[in-house]
Structures are given as structure tokens and as C-alpha cells.
């Protein structure tokens, strides 16, 4: 597991998620810990190394 830091696209607070780098491609939705708005995360790993990380707000 690796901790990845990001800034919430809604409230701009700094937060983090834990990513399982044994899974090569992940896409999931998680709520911001502070404002509870949904964020879509995309994580791509190769040989247990993070190669791509992106996130975006979800239209409500």
C-alpha cells in the first residue's frame, strides 16, 4: 500500500488515499474526508510502482 496525497477539487483541502499497487489498474469513487463530495480516482501501477494518478470531481 502506498499513501498518495491530493487536493480536493471541491473544498481544496489536502488529503490522502491508500493505493494497492499490486493491482495494475484501478478506478473508483471515494468521498472527500472533509466535505463529503465524491471524487473519481484513477490509479495505474506497473511492477508495484505508481505510474499514473489522476482524480476529478463528479458532476452532481
- Regarding pTM above 0.85, the answer is yes
What is the Cα–Cα distance from 34 to 47, expressed in whole angstroms? 32
Give me the residue spans of the domains in the chain. Answer: 2-57
5-42 b/e (C-beta count within 10 Å ≥ 16 → b): ebebeeeeeebebebebeeeeeeeeeebeeeeeebebe
What is the Cα–Cα distance from 13 to 34, expressed in whole angstroms? 7
pLDDT at residue 52 greater than cutoff 70: yes
- Mind listing the pLDDT tens digit for each residue in 2-47? 999 999 999 999 999 999 999 999 999 999 999 999 999 999 999 9
pLDDT at residue 1 greater than cutoff 80: yes
Amino acid at each position: 500500500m502506498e499513501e498518495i496525497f491530493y487536493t480536493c477539487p471541491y473544498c481544496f483541502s489536502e488529503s490522502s488515499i491508500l493505493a494497492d499497487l499490486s493491482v495494475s489498474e484501478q478506478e473508483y469513487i471515494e468521498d472527500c474526508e472533509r466535505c463529503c463530495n465524491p471524487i473519481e480516482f484513477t490509479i495505474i501501477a506497473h511492477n508495484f510502482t505508481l505510474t499514473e494518478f489522476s482524480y476529478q470531481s463528479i458532476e452532481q
